[in-house]
Amino acid sequence: MLPLAWEASIEVHWPGGGFSVHGSPWDLDAFAVGHLVAEGYVPSFKGIRSVSVRSTGEDDVRVEVELARGIPRRGARRDDVMWGADPRTVPRSRRNPGSNVRPEHLLALAKSLRERERTLRAAGPLHWAALYDPPTGRSLLASDLSRHSAMDKVLGKALLSGLPIAGRILYSTGRIGEEMTAKAIRMGAAALGTRSVPFRAAVELAGRHGLVLVGKLRPEGFWVYAGKARLAPGSVK
């Protein structure tokens, strides 16, 4: 049987606000947590008291979030587009400005993903995001039809599990846009990589904040788009 893409309408609500997207209906507690924190709507994971997920139909899911305090939102969000005023905070890096990224860690991440590629592809036509911990060589993975939501999910999984994000490497199978770069900066990631390429706005934002941004990441090498000064000596393009 050929693999199919399973899509659902997902509504995320909290008292006084919410948004809706279309995406893959799994790991939705992690999606809601990761989205709210990484997008800058709540200052930290401590601002979220609880998350509950329930099906409201065959392809409809509702996620209820209890917050420590309300979000001063005036706009409405649908499918990663904000309509009206946007109260999100501007990205502020949480990383250690003196920390460097080693090229061999980026290559090790790419190698580990290639070794798991057959298993990942068998899951269907999905985007994958990874949070890689260089000291242990372990990767936390999440998937979704949307590359944006996959990143939200992997960040949310880390927050829910109490895993640190600052200083680690974020990865996406999709193209890197400005919003995904902003998420990496807000969460304190040391580097952001993709097997694809970033958009110009992402490169400019990463450059302003000192984030290492790499594209065409393969076990054989990668292209550096921003943050080259923060790469430890190694052979890179």
Instruction: Note the pLDDT tens digit of each residue in 24-62.
Output: 999 999 999 999 999 988 889 999 999 999 998 889 999
Q: Summarize pLDDT for 90-145 with one digit per residue, the tens.
A: 666 665 544 689 999 999 999 999 999 989 988 888 999 999 999 999 999 999 99
Domains and their CATH numbers in the chain: 8-83 (3.10.20.10), 103-230 (3.40.140.10)
All residues at 6 or more sequence positions from 204 whose CB lies less than 8 Å from its CB, including other chains: none
Q: What pLDDT sits at residue 198?
A: 97
Give the chain's largest Cα–Cα span: 54
Asked whether the beta carbons of 215 and 197 are under 8 A apart, the reply is yes
Contact 34, 159 (CB under 8 A): yes
User: pLDDT category, 70, cuts 50, 70, 90?
Assistant: confident
Are the C-beta atoms of 163 and 184 separated by less than 8 Å?
no
Q: Which residue has the tokens 């970033």?
A: 198
Return the structure tokens found at 18.
């919410």
**SS3 for 148?**
helix
What is the side-by-side strand order in the sheet with 212-218? 138-144, 127-133, 169-172, 191-194, 212-218, 221-226
CA of residue 77 relative to chain centroid, distance? 18
To the question of pTM greater than 0.85 for the whole model, the response is yes
Angle between helices 178-186 and 28-38 in degrees, nearest 10: 80
As a whole number of angstroms, the distance between CA 184 and CA 171 comes to: 10
How far is the C-alpha of 65 from the C-alpha of 45, rounded, in Å? Answer: 12
Place of tokens 């800058």: 40
For the packed helices 147-161 and 28-38, what is the interaxial angle rounded to 10 degrees? Answer: 90
What pLDDT, on a 0 to 100 scale, did the predictor assign at position 44? 92
- Tell me: pLDDT of 87 over 70: no
pLDDT at 31: 98
Instruction: Please provide the size of the chain in residues.
Output: 237
